């Protein structure tokens, strides 16, 4: 394991992703892993940060500014600060503004119960400290994660389509079908698969995805683009849509799995 990162402190270690990283890192020999969740004990945090090389923020976007301000207030050592937010533009601005030490933005592209067939990829954004960025990259690599670098803007543009548009279009689809009981006797296996697939996102995780959508500066651009394709459908130009959609099966995704 990277020699300069031996002691990590996870804030939000009782949450799904915080717990995932805590359990995974505890399996690494020689790595000291500690953590804290709500309610935050200011004095206990102060003592823990004295020994930490890396702080991993596994908290909701709305909690980032307050926590980063608190960390900056109570520590004089300034370990590497790393977040795992699913948007990057605004959290990076907040961390760089509130925290004078090294900052690295990350987004794990998997959930707390990752699919065994899907790679454990982490998108990484440079904040403050190129050397520290490389240390964190090596740290994750040695922990069994794949990483790639992007800007905060590139990340949020991609997530506006991968996460945000998926959420709002699925939400809109089921909202448009809701309340009409005459549909129920016509349900098909494909509809059943779709509603089962959407269940967790639209019920358990709806507040999370709503926050992500509202926090992403590219969300409305993605919706406008999608609307332009709906306009093609309403005009009957389905051949254009079919030809374009086939990119997913003829291109990088269909040709060689998840890029």
Give pLDDT, residue 1.
56
| The pLDDT of residue 9 is above 90 | yes
Task: Return mean pLDDT, the chain.
Answer: 94
Q: Which two tokens stand for residue 59?
A: 């908290």
Give pLDDT, residue 259.
46
pLDDT in tens, 31-62: 999 999 999 999 999 999 999 999 999 999 99
**Contact indicator for 54, 75 with CB cutoff of 8 Å:** no
Q: Quickly list DSSP for 8-66.
A: EEEETTTSHHHHHHHHHHHTSTT-EEEEE-SSP-HHHHHHHHTT-SEEEE-S-GGGHHH
Give pLDDT, residue 2.
64
Give pLDDT, residue 252.
64
pLDDT in tens, 123-156: 999 999 999 999 999 999 999 999 999 999 999 9
Its CATH class, for the domain covering 7-150, is alpha beta
Query: 36 burial class (0-12, 13-18, 19+ CB within 10 angstroms)?
Result: middle
Q: Residue ranges of the domains in the chain?
A: 7-150, 153-256
């Amino acid at each position: 394991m990277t020699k300069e990162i031996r002691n990590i402190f996870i804030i939000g270690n009782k949450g799904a992703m915080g717990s995932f990283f805590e359990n995974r890192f505890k399996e690494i020999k020689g790595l000291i892993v500690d953590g804290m969740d709500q309610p935050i004990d200011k004095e206990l945090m102060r003592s823990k940060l004295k020994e930490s090389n890396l702080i991993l923020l596994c908290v909701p976007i709305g909690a980032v500014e307050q926590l980063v301000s608190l960390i900056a207030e109570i520590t004089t050592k300034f370990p590497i600060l790393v977040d795992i937010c699913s948007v990057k533009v605004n959290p990076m601005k907040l961390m760089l503004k509130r925290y004078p030490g090294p900052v690295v933005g990350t987004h794990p592209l998997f959930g707390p119960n990752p699919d065994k067939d899907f790679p454990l990829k982490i998108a990484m954004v440079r904040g403050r400290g190129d050397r520290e960025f490389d240390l964190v990259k090596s740290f994750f690599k040695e922990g069994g994660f794949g990483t790639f670098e992007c800007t905060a803007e590139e990340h949020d543009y991609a997530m506006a389509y991968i996460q945000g548009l998926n959420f709002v279009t699925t939400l809109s689809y089921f909202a448009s079908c809701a309340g009409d009981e005459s549909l129920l006797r016509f349900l098909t296996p494909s509809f059943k698969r779709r509603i089962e697939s959407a269940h967790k996102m639209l019920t358990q995780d709806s507040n999370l995805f709503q926050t992500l959508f509202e926090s992403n500066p590219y969300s409305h651009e993605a919706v406008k683009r999608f609307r332009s394709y709906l306009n093609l459908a309403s005009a009957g130009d389905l051949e254009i849509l079919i030809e374009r959609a086939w990119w997913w099966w003829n291109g990088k995704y269909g040709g060689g799995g998840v890029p």
